[in-house]
Amino acid sequence: MTGDAATDIPIIRADNVVRTFKIGQNRIEVLRGVTLSVKRGEKLFLSGASGAGKTSLLYTLAGLEAPNEGKVFVEENSIYDLPRHALARCRSSQMGYVFQNYFLLPELTAAENVMLPAMMRGKNTGNRAEELLEKVGLRDRATHLPTELSGGEQQRVAIARALINDPDIIFADEPTGNLDSKTGASVMDLLMNLVDEQHKTLMVVTHDPSLAESGDRKLELFDGRLVA
């Protein structure tokens, strides 16, 4: 396959993805046959009302929650058809995650939290963690615990952690949801700049209409279906 042909392959593709949940005797359809493709290097923003299925779609594309029906491809691999260890390897090597609630381990320092995904792969990445903390403006906070950091600083640590394994794709679920508008704008500017600088693909879930306009493409979910 030529380099140009490889570039034409979507880095993420969903084919007719369905997600359902059972609540009591009722089965709730959260995703109703979603199909989409994401280009390598694209910055895609996914918006929609609360309960529309945004986070469910993100988690399904990110290898975290298997669909009830349909397939998800990362490059040419149908990820939920992979053995469990291969899916875990795909997540750790090709995907980075930024969540609304940061999910930093409270007993670890900022630097240790950044290194954690690499340590789980048996890699010593202390130098890279320092470099990433410098890129997010927190080198002088490397030895601080999460409780000693502001919300914006914790999210910057989470962004550095998402990049530690040099993944192809960054998934961000409401990354500014717990931040005030000024801090949130600063964090998003940082994330967008790092994605551009390091040639990553970015997929962001947001309820903020203005933020949803800042990527290369915006999609909207309504009642489990893409409408834009």
pLDDT band at 1 (very low <50, low <70, confident <90, very high): very low
pLDDT at 2: 44
> What are 38's strand-pairing partners?
12
The Cα 184–Cα 179 span in angstroms is 5
Kindly report, residue by residue over 93-152, the tens digit of the pLDDT. 999 999 999 999 999 999 999 999 988 777 767 789 999 999 999 999 999 999 999 999
Q: Do residues 21 and 183 lie in contact, with contact meaning Cβ atoms separated by under 8 Å?
A: no
Question: What class is the 3-226 domain?
Answer: alpha beta
More confident residue, 140 or 27: 140
pLDDT of amino acid 228: 64
Write out pLDDT tens, residues 162-180. 999 999 999 999 999 899 9
- How does residue 21 score in pLDDT terms, banded at 50, 70 and 90? confident
How far apart CA 31 and CA 20 sit, in angstroms, is 7
pTM of the model: 0.91
Per the DSSP assignment, residues forming a β-bridge with 18 are 32, 69
Q: Where are the domains of the chain?
A: 3-226
**2 or 115: whose pLDDT is higher?**
115
SS3 annotation, 27-48: EEEEEEEEEEEECCCCEEEEEC
DSSP string for residues in 186-228: HHHHHHHHHHHHTT-EEEEE-S-HHHHTSSSEEEEEETTEE--
Of 153, 154, 171, give the one whose Cα is nearest residue 162.
171
Mean pLDDT of the chain: 91
The pLDDT score that the predictor gives to residue 121 is: 74
The pLDDT of residue 7 is 58
Predicted confidence at residue 106, as pLDDT, reads 96
pLDDT digits (tens, 9 = 90+) for 52-97: 899 999 999 999 999 999 999 999 899 999 999 999 999 999 999 9
